[in-house]
A and B are shown apart, each in its own frame.
Chain A
């Protein structure tokens, strides 16, 4: 038989054009490659980096010891240690109930032949079944609600939906007002300068200013000038306008304030 098939194959080979197999193979490869190319799989796809989203609290004053404000904020190692699964190991003693107590039940099974226990067992079984059904329904409802919530959040399409209020590098509790941040924000609010006033944005000036415990400005001096009169003048104006912080500091002290336009340069 095998001789016959070999002979038939040989005959077929003689009938077909020489190199047909190679051509068929080539055609197959082409058919495979063309859809791949058209699908764009081979095109270099640059994943656009995820734009960082910051929750800016416009109502409350800057907080002392801010808490994490991003869903991807790295949790501290200490917190991880606290969640070690040791207590789970303690919960394991379920095992003895399975192994030790089940056996006597099997041994005592013969008395089940009595009628009365059957009724009670049926009742308890029915009750248990009803409970389980109710539990299943409750779970199904809960799953539905969870799915609806997830769909709603996906619809919003905003990465900041689940971002808690806080700061990207924050790890604290978010309680209290940060004195330094308050001073920074207060002086920043007083600083008014338009990009249209400046020929370039790589300008920097430094001011040393003293504030009393009551938040009143004492002496101040421009330590470093930018060289641009409009920039320097705007800094001076901001300092003059910040005569009173309207906020009590924990201690009197000196602040070295650097004014630059790094945020505008990055745009």
Chain B
């Protein structure tokens, strides 16, 4: 009897043991894009205008540049695309799931005289919840700004980091017959000339805290440093020491600048206060030191020097003044720009008769080439979120401004044909 009981106990014990789970490892997502449905914005009362088209165009271009999305074909949209759906309860998520999208953008607009109101929403189709929503109030004509702003919000909702679409690009163009300073939107639209020096303007940089640009100009024959308030247009000469006053770059808090000064002799790197006074000399060498760029924490500066024979990238610690060489490959490395994330330094290198853009980590590791197409690429500058690079391309005797992702993909031309456009600079977030 005891034996039978023991066997029964053993049987019941084994039958109650859970079956071993099957272990599966998935080491990459099936797709590296988010399937997104971008519906056309609908009028909230009143008749339809071209405002929806303007918003639509900008959103499509921005989201495409981000490289984050796979936009669903509008021809496949079902009836919910014709519904306003500004509240999650009024969205038929089943329809969107059927299309295989993970997120849907819906929106509406209302025009009252000159006043424009735009409501925009981003929904998660799987969890059926609102990811982000905004109500924009502006004037008719603000559609582009509103769309750029909502594209930034979409990026924030899906990556945790704001997009750079509602920012500006400064650049130098010869469209007026002289090298003048211009401003445009990040998709190359609405170019605006800011200077009329009828001389040579070079190397702009945005103030991170004010809507202000610094640049070098030969207006008074000497390459002096100027600052200009963008909206008031007021301009002031900022550093006019004999010789070079170039390559001005603001520290990330806007409290100091780094510049190249030659003071009539050899060019070296200096720290200036916002009032133009010299705070510190960072390099003291017979070699030519130019093109400084701040690290995001403001402790180090990357610059170009020919102190070892050929132009190479060096990094100087602004406290200890210790200089370390960063690049060892190539015979001509120039124009470094430190990523706002601190992860990369972009620079140009002459390879096979043309300059191409490279990235290197601040510790000298991970150096790799980003551009391979024909033409010389110069002056790479990071976007404020560190996701994109803007640069100038010299191809077939025409210089144009281009933008690409920092993995070298998504390259596109921004500036319109018909002028030589160089020296791009990316603003901070445009409030």
Contact = CB atoms under 8 A, between A and B. Distances in A.
Given A230-B159, A254-B19, A192 B25 contact: no
Nearest to B70: A192
Interface residues of B, number: 29
Interface stretch (A18-26, A66-74, A117-125, A194-202): A194-202
A197 B31 contact: no
A241 B128 CA distance: 13
A258 B24 CA distance: 6
A163 B12 CA distance: 51
A190 interface: yes
A167 to B, nearest CB: 16
Given A197-B158, A229-B160, A191 B26 contact: yes
B32 A194 contact: yes
B68 A256 contact: no
A191 B29 contact: yes
A192 B30 contact: yes
Nearest to A262: B27
Contacts of B31: 189, 191-192
A132 interface: no
A263 interface: yes
Contacts of B18: 254
B76 interface: no
Interface string A220-264: 000000000110001001101100000000010111111111111
Most buried by A among B22, B29, B31, B66: B29
A190 B30 contact: yes
A208 B32 contact: no
B13 interface: no
B140 interface: no
Contacts of B158: 197, 230
Interface in B58-87: 66-68
Contact of A254 (B22, B27, B30, B33): B22
A254 B127 contact: no
Contact of A180 (B24, B27, B66, B126): B24
Interface string A89-121: 000000000000000000000000000000000
A116 B28 CA distance: 85
Given A192-B102, A229-B160, A187 B21 contact: no
A256 B33 contact: no
Contacts of B21: 208, 253-256
A188 B25 CA distance: 10
A237 B26 contact: no
Most buried by A among B24, B32, B159: B24
A183 interface: yes
A193 interface: yes
B19 A260 contact: no
Nearest to B18: A254
Given A197-B159, A255-B22, A189 B67 contact: no
B26 A180 contact: no
Contacts of B67: 194, 196
B24 A263 contact: no
A229 B387 CA distance: 19
B66 A196 contact: yes
A193 B29 contact: yes
Interface of A: 180, 183-184, 187-197, 208, 229-230, 234, 237-238, 240-241, 251, 253-264
Given A192-B34, A230-B159, 5 more contacts: A193-B32, A230-B158, A237-B126, A255-B21, A258-B26
8 contacts: A191-B26, A192-B30, A194-B32, A230-B160, A251-B19, A254-B22, A261-B29, A263-B27
